[in-house]
Structure 1
Amino acid sequence: MKKTALVICPGRGTYNKPELGSISANIAASSSTIREDLQSVLDTIDAERAALGLATVSELDQAKLFKTSIHQRPENAAALIYAAGYLDFLSIDREQYDIVAMTGNSMGWYTAMACAEAWSISTSTKLVTSMAQLTADGEGAQFIYPTVDSEWRPDVERIAVVEEQIAAHPGALMHSIHYGGYAVLAGTEDACSAALAALPKADERFPMLLPGHAAFHTKLMQGAAEQAQETWPIAAFQAPQTPLVDGRGYQWLTPTADMPALHSYTLGHQVTETYDFSKAVQVAVKDYAPDHIILLGPGNGLGGAVAQALIAIGWQGLSDKADFSARQEAELPYVISMGMPEQRALVTAAQS
């Protein structure tokens, strides 16, 4: 009997040095029944990138050395993250898993849209690149700060100091992403610098400025949103074939999705307003009650935030980090990360 799964796509910053070569390696390690299809999809993505005069995903992924100046360029990082996630999605064994819904974090929404067939491969490749360029050119900065304790339970003191900083910089510092047990804040460079200096040090490395990030998911991205809506017409959108849960917790159901509204959200609200990843996860598990949650690559950084979002609502009795860790020790973990080879093998067909 098939197991049901919620699929979650990662956002910016998840293709890093350890992931170099992972896209080509995962294709090579795939079952022969899908290997050619995966390579064909990657070839299509590469062709679209080449037509734009940009380095192909294959060239970037198969480079001998990871270079921040190249691999973390917004238009390159976005393409690598999207391609890795999309190919992971196609690698999930549908004989084992019935995908009942999808969501993503930040730019992971674009990957989710592609996986749900709301865009063609050509459109999604070009749009992901375009949005990365438009938003990266925006002003401001973005940083992250924990709002939970060491056991992943809400920490009222940390939450309070975050809110104090937002209140101290009205209109200049805002919630960018509700990311499990972390507040991702963004705003003007002055406001971010002041908040970074004022917030108490936490867990030895926070607050942490996110290099190369502008004030994503805030009103400072209004110009990018307007340009995106002028560049990408409603005609580029198609009815998603898998239910999508967006960064408000709103569901886009097939086949009745309102295309003008989906266009407006994706290139408007999603760009300029707070992205509530925690709520997206919480709504998805409540409404679809999946047997498992599958996290697409690249990397495996989503696990903690997803667990923290579940703990916040006491999902299936989870109350802290220890509960979640115990649940993950099962032969088939509840949350399965495709960025971890041993867990990837649990959701893909055996190589042949």
Structure 2
Amino acid sequence: MKKTALVVCPGRGTYNKPELGSISSKIAEDGAKVRDIIHQIDAVRAELDCPTVTELDQMDLYKSRVHQSPDNAAALIYAAGYTDFLAINRDEYDVVAITGNSMGWYTAMACAGCWSVDTSTRLVTNMAQLTAGGAGAQFIYPLVDGNWQPSAEYRARVAEQLAAHQGDLMMSINYGGYAVLAGTTAACEAAIAALPMVDERFPLLLPGHAAFHTSLMSEASEAALERWPPVLFKAPHTPLVDGRGHCWSGHIASAEALHGYTLGHQVTQTYDFTRAIQVAVKEYAPDHIILLGPGSGLGGAVAQALIQCNWQGLDSKESFSARQQRPHPYVLSMGLPEQRALVTGHGSENNK
């Protein structure tokens, strides 16, 4: 009997040095279907006079200025996530819903069949260019303690900075146990200076990030709405859960509404990834959550979102880790070879 699965797509900053070569290495494993998709993506990128995904992924050395350039990073993240989605063993898993974090919404839209490969490649590249040209900055600060329990003290600190810089500093992403804040450069710098350090790491400025998911992205949104018409959008073939926790079902979703949300609200308003995960598990009750690549950084935020709503009795980092120790973990990250094998069936005795 098939196991049901919620698929989650990663956002910006997930193609890093350890991921170099990961897309090319998976092509040999996952077969002609994935290879053909990469060829299509490469052809569009070449037409746009941009480095192809294959060129970027097969470079001898990881170069931050190249691989973290917004339109290059966006293409790599989208290509890695979309091809991971295609590699899921459908004889073992029935994908009942798809969601994503921030830029992962674009990958989710592609996975759900809302765009052609040509459109999604062009749109992902263009949105990265438009939003990267925006003003401001983005940084991250924890809302939980070391055992992933909510911290009233940390939340109060974040609320204090939002109040102190009202209109200039905003909640960009509600990301599990973390607040991703964004706003004007001056407001972000002042808030970072004022917030007490946690774990010798936070507050952490996100290099190369603008004030995503805030009103400072309004010009980018307006340009995108004008450039990308609703006719390019289709209703999803698999339910989608967006950054408000709203569910889009194929039989009732309209192309016009998806267009307005994706290029409007999603660009300029807070992306509540925590709520998206919580709504998705409650609405679709998946047997497993599959995290697409590149990388495996989504795991902590997903676990923290589950802990916040006490999903299946999860109430701490300790209880989540114990749940993951079972032969078939609840959360399966395709960025981890041993868990990827459980999802694709390649090299896994459990899926034969």
Answer yes or no: same fold by TM over 0.5: yes
8 Å contact from structure 2 (residues 182, 214) kept in 1: yes
Q: Which residue, out of 141, 144, 154, partners 1:145? A: 141
SS across alignment from 1:345: helix
Per the TM alignment, residue 20 of structure 1 is displaced from its structure 2 partner at its CA by 0.1
- Structure 2 residue corresponding to 1:109, chosen from 100, 105, 111: 105
What is the deviation of 1:29?
Answer: 2.2
Partner of 1:8: 8
Q: Percent identity?
A: 68
Q: State the match for 2:323 in structure 1.
A: 327
Q: Which residue of 1 aligns with 2:128?
A: 132
Q: In 1, distance between residues paired with 2:188 and 2:346?
A: 48
CA distance in 2, matches of 1:171, 1:55: 38
Counterpart of 2:239 in structure 1 is: 243
How do 1:298-309 and structure 2 match up within 5 A? 298-309=294-305
**TM-score, length of structure 1 as denominator length:** 0.98
- 1:217-232 to 2 correspondence within 5 Å? 217-232=213-228
1:1-80 equivalences under 5 Å are 1-30=1-30, 35-80=31-76
Q: Deviations over 1:192-227 (max 9, x none)?
A: 000000000001100000000000000000000000
Q: Which of 275, 279, 286 is equivalent to 1:283?
A: 279
Structure 2 residue 189 is the aligned partner of structure 1 residue 193? yes
Partner deviation per Cα, 1:15-42 (whole Å, 9 max, x = no partner): 0000000001011123xxxx01110000
Cα offset for 1:188?
0.1
When the two chains are superposed, the root-mean-square deviation of aligned CA atoms in Å is 0.8
Residue 116 of structure 2: aligned partner: 120
SS of corresponding position for 1:212? coil
Aligned to 1:89: 85
1:258 to 254, 258, 283: 254
Q: Residues 72-95 of structure 1, C-alpha deviation per residue, up to 9 Å, x if partnerless?
A: 000000000000000000000000
Whichever residue aligns with residue 17 of structure 1, its letter is K
* 1:37-76 deviation per Cα after TM superposition (whole angstroms, max 9, x unaligned): 1100000000000000000000000000000010000000
**Residues 1:161 and 2:151 are matched in the alignment:** no
1:175 lines up with 2:148 in the alignment:
no
1:153-209 deviations in Å (ceiling 9; x for gaps): 110000000000000001000000000000000000000000000000001100000
Secondary structure, in 3 states, of the residue corresponding to 1:346?
A: helix
Q: 1:256-278, CA deviations, whole angstroms, 9 ceiling, x for partnerless residues?
A: 21211110000000000000000
Q: Which amino acid aligns with 1:148?
A: V
Q: What residue identity is the alignment partner of 1:12?
A: R
- Give the counterpart letter for 1:145 in structure 2: Y
Task: Name 1:312's counterpart in structure 2.
Answer: 308
How much does 1:350 deviate?
Answer: 2.7
Cα deviation, residue 349, structure 1: 2.9
Which contiguous aligned blocks of 4+ residues in structure 1 show a shift greater than 6 angstroms? Answer: none
1:274 corresponds, among 258, 270, 276, to 270
- Separation of aligned partners in 2, 1:350 and 1:94: 13
Partner of 1:347: 343
CA distance in 2 between counterparts of 1:231 and 1:349 reads 41
Hey, what's the Cα distance between the residues in 2 that align with 1:187 and 1:83? Answer: 29
Q: 1:59 & 1:41 partners in 2: Cα distance?
A: 15
Q: Equivalent residue of 1:29, what SS?
A: helix
Aligned equivalent of 1:210, options 202, 206, 213: 206
Cα deviation for residue 239 of structure 1 reads: 1.1
Q: Give the match's secondary structure for 2:342.
A: coil
CA deviations over 1:298-325 (Å, ceiling 9, x no partner): 0000000000000000000011000000
Structure 1 spans left out of the alignment, 5+ residues: none
TM-score normalized by the length of structure 2? 0.98
Inter-partner Cα distance in structure 1 for 2:252 and 2:191:
44
| Counterpart Cα distance in 2 of 1:257 and 1:349 | 33
- Secondary structure at 1:171 match in 2: coil
